[in-house]
Amino acid sequence: MLTSEGRVIMISGANRGIGRAIAETLFEAGYSISLGARDLKSLSSVVDGWAADRVATARYDAEDMETHQQWVGATVEKFGRIDGLVNNAGIFESVTVEDGDDTVLDRMWAVNVKAPLSMTRLALPHLRHSGNGRVVNVASLAGKVVFDSGIGYSMTKFAAVALSHATRHAGWKDGVRCTALCPGYVATDLTSGVESITQDRMIPAGDLAQVVLTVLSLSNSASIAELVINCRDDPTA
């Protein structure tokens, strides 16, 4: 198992929900963390009271590639290294086989696929230098199971899983490992309107954060390529 001491992890979409839970869990475990989100003010509330020498925040807009470069640069400037990247930021909007706005679909591709690819490309040289670099892509069960009501979203999450496998292959010889997390419904503000299952039966965001902590801690010889996490017996129901 790898220790957290001295290791630096970048987390996108860290101002709420899953990303915030991951940030809190990793910081408590001893990692130094660099958090990215569009709303810097909300990030400030997340890290309030945390040790300043182990935390960095930056504006990250998935649709603005310049902010990707600036965030990676600021992280390296402060910590001198990057050991892990958690591509968590994502969006969902309904696009079906028969209905849907192409502009909406393009935005989901930009945020859910192109942005994680951009961040991975920028971080990869530093992850290779680490020798134990880790990438965690927060995909979705929708990247394994297809529903017509969310086909646009599923398409992007299938692509995120593909990106994860490609990243693992690209960095393998240099100790880079990548995991695609594919959870079902997670109890956050984004799922508050779901009618098919109540939030008390969904995956707690803190539990998913513990999974990320475990994945980051595994040795190079114990790589998990995909991890499907269910909150009900029949996720297709």
**Residues known to be catalytic:** 153
Asked if the structure places residue 76 within a domain, the reply is yes
- The model's confidence at residue 234, banded by pLDDT at 50, 70 and 90, is low
Domain annotation covers residue 22: yes
For residue 33, tell me if it sits in a domain: yes
Number of domains in the chain: 1
Domain contains 234: no
Residue 110 per-residue DSSP state:
I
End-to-end CA distance of the chain: 37
Question: Which CATH number characterizes residue 45's domain?
Answer: 3.40.50.720
Cα dihedral value 183, 17, 89, 15, nearest 10: -160
pLDDT single digits (tens) 68-80 = 999 999 999 999 9
Residue 85 lies in a domain: yes
pTM over 0.75: yes
What range does the domain containing 149 cover? 8-229
H or E element: which one contains 49?
Answer: none
3 found inside a domain: no
- What would the pLDDT profile of 175-203 be if each residue is shown by its tens digit? 999 999 999 888 887 776 776 788 888 89
Cα separation, 19 vs 88, whole angstroms? 6
Determine which of 10-14, 40-44, 55-59, 103-107 has the lowest per-residue pLDDT on average: 40-44
**pLDDT tens digits, one per residue of 122-162:** 999 999 999 999 999 999 998 998 876 789 999 999 999 99
Please give the share of the chain, as a percent, with pLDDT higher than 70. Answer: 97
